Chains A and B, each alone.
Chain A
Amino acid sequence: MNTQRKTLLLAAGLALVAIAALFAKRSEVYLLTLTCVYLMATFGLNLTVGYAGQMSLGQAAFFGIGAYIAAIAMKAGVPFLVVLPIAAVACFAVGLALGFPALRVQHHYLAFATLGFNVLIFLIMRNEEKITGGTFGISGIPRPSLFGYEFSGAVPFFYFTFVSLIVLAALLWWLLRSPWGRAFAALRDNPIRAESLGVNITAYTLLAFAIGAACAGVGGVYYASLVEFIEPGPFHFSTSLLMLLAVIVGGSGRFMGPVVGTIIIILLPEFLRSSNVEWLKFMQKWYLAFFGVAVIALMIWLPGGILSFGDRFKKAATK
């Protein structure tokens, strides 16, 4: 498929989602917005894991840091447009720090180091009641307002999140098409060779973590505004696993991979659970089991993710 056709297809898809939101039920608009919010985090995770090859099981921690910064600051009256860069920069800085273990360990060791970080942040969120509200959380988080317009309704907030997601995705696309994207790929494919060719693997490893973390922080800000109440639960490491699953299921290291993966992780279980189609009604009880089996089957038959199907098909055709 040439670039022009791809662009047209993407524009059509985006327009379809934008129009669908006008006719969707409130709960469906909420799910669409939630998908956009998670996508901000999984786009960032795809950069860290898929493009730069650094394993991370700590993305939910950054998602949580962004959400708590937003909750505390916005309740104190700080405008959304000020909160957003603060959360992004804070997560970028913490992400840089988390990148340091990656300079010494890789693969499953790095996975456990980042998982430990997620557990640490989760415990802080749960136990530092004076700041985070502990298990009672923080309620009454306001929706953002821009130039006097408040995005308080479900649909306006969806459009606000949707446009923000497109801007974030465009920024990442530009970054990955720049020489940085190639350096990230070199780091992922062969760090020893990359270093011998002048790639500063320390800088790029830290940047991969920091940029991925900043994206999750931005997602967290929108999440806090969406749910209007946060507590530590959604930032448990199981959410990090889910985000990683979204990246891998969609196609790690493919730009649209997280889109496909996040839709499947967020929307598919809900679709199966609430389906009123007669032959799918049994799914109301079995949807999680079906979801688990589908993921296992996918990992066996398409370990490169759903978007690798085309490549696999091409390879089979050329044999």
Chain B
Amino acid sequence: MNSFLEVKEVRKAYGAIKAVDGVSFNVGPGEIVGVIGPNGSGKTTLFNSILGQIKPTSGHVAFCDEDITGMSPLELSRRGVGRTFQTLQVFVKLSVRDNLIAAAQEFKGTLVSRLMAEPDAGLGEHADKMIELFRLQHVAHLPAGSLSYGQQKLIDIAMAFMPAPRLVLLDEPCAGVNPSLVDQLRELLVELNKSQGGSFVVIEHNMDFIMKLCPHVICMVEGKVLSEGPPATVQANPQVLEAYLGN
């Protein structure tokens, strides 16, 4: 099996508007793939089409040789597919620690066994390790909603990795994050890639971040793949420069 995630000719149209127009790409096991493109190029719609948030108009998505096109986010999460969203998506009233435990507890046991399980579902130690990795110890017991945007973003990302997913799609992980945290975030993702061995697909506007993190980059414009390959090749492509900077 060469392809872990296979996206084939995915299209999503809203009436006459083609938000995603025949996008195909493959992601191998343990690979980190970056997706770049100007605003409105269809990156998030592509993510949502892969992840069951919206149903693609046509095309196929396969994960580990299984057709997952149109599967619900719940079914995908059970197959080891995780994600983060473009906007913050934490459980605001739960503590940071509880956010992390909530992110993984549903993968342990059955509905009934979870009722009988200990309060931390046996995930307390794992959550504490993740809190340490993301340097959130000093706020671990505070409600997530009371923290700064950057801290919530870190929680958001840590939550996606709590169940040790086999594939994670990260939608703009650096958005709104303090520049000093961006390098830390990149190091964290590299470390998680090594320790958990999962594959990542990352949408990002921060070019420096994506070029350093991803050995393979896809550039989308107007719903189509404009260019793909190693970061330096994509970056040097005149069409990509034109799409970003104009003539």
Contacts and interface: CB of A to CB of B under 8 A. Distances in A.
Interface in B154-209: 159, 162-163
A193 B89 contact: yes
Interface in A186-224: 186, 188-190, 192-201, 203
Nearest to A199: B106
A198 B106 contact: yes
Query: Chain A: interface secondary structure?
Result: helix
Interface of B: 51, 53, 72-74, 76-78, 82-83, 85, 89-94, 98, 101-107, 111, 114-117, 119, 121, 159, 162-163
Contacts, number: 91
Given A179-B117, A189-B93, A197 B111 contact: no
A178 B115 contact: yes
Given A179-B117, A179-B121, A193 B91 contact: yes
7 contacts: A178-B119, A179-B115, A179-B119, A180-B115, A182-B98, A183-B102, A193-B91
B166 to A, nearest CB: 13
Contact of A182 (B74, B105, B162, B163): B105
B114 A185 contact: no
Contacts of B93: 185, 188-189, 253
B79 to A, nearest CB: 10
Q: How many of chain A's residues touch chain B, expressed as a range?
A: 20 to 34
A319 interface: no
A196 B106 contact: no
Interface of A: 175, 177-180, 182-183, 185-186, 188-190, 192-201, 203, 253
Contacts of A189: 90-94
Nearest to A200: B74
A238 to B, nearest CB: 30
Contact of A190 (B72, B89, B98): B89
A197 B89 CA distance: 11
A196 B91 contact: no
